Structure 1
């Protein structure tokens, strides 16, 4: 986990932290970070629970995990294309 997601540079992170300190104060920043961390952990746990439930359902119906992975990947690709189509038109407007 040594990399920073979203392709944000160190300078941009420093600027964001500076703005957070200016807006919320130095004493509130750790509370905000803790809340964000707990939210990320909840999302990760929910994702793992959903994945386990899908795999359990697949095993119950006699499906192999490779076939499910391919089906899920196809659906995710379709959603990505739809999102790209929507955001592409928004990006072109600005």
Structure 2
């Protein structure tokens, strides 16, 4: 929105007519304080938005680090060795003396 010099002059004259020359300094001060408060609020909103948009990135980085740690701790060879030791420790049933086991049957 652009105001020409004539439009700004019209606004200034109408403010002087409406409020009088005595109240102009107070109106200007109040207007300046309002603008400063608005700028401060905008900065707060901007910093909050930046903080919120940064959080997902840091959470993703933390998740990546957790996955890397889990990948380093994962040892598939150790798991296979542990399973083979467990299988060796279990007693194998004697199928020849078992009545339940019929063995290969050809029909």
TM-score grouping bracket, smaller chain normalisation = 0.5 to 0.7
List runs of 5+ in structure 1 lacking aligned partners.
1-5, 64-94
Task: Select which of 43, 47, 54 maps to 2:42.
Answer: 47
Find the aligned partners of 2:50 and 2:43 in 1 and give their Cα distance. Answer: 11
Question: Which residue in 1 is equivalent to 2:55?
Answer: 60
Structure 2 counterpart SS, 1:15: helix
Moved over 3 A (4+): none
1:37 has 2:32 as partner: yes
- Relative to total residues, which structure has the larger helix share, 1 or 2? 1
* Residues 32-79 of structure 1 deviation map (CA, whole Å, 9 limit, x = unaligned): 12111211111111111111011112212217xxxxxxxxxxxxxxxx
- TM-score, normalization: structure 1? 0.55
- TM-score, normalization: structure 2? 0.49
Query: Alignment length, in residue pairs?
Result: 58
Task: Select which of 7, 29, 46 maps to 1:12.
Answer: 7
List runs of 5+ in structure 2 lacking aligned partners.
59-107
Find the aligned partners of 1:56 and 1:44 in 2 and give their Cα distance. Answer: 18
Question: Which residue in 1 is equivalent to 2:96?
Answer: none
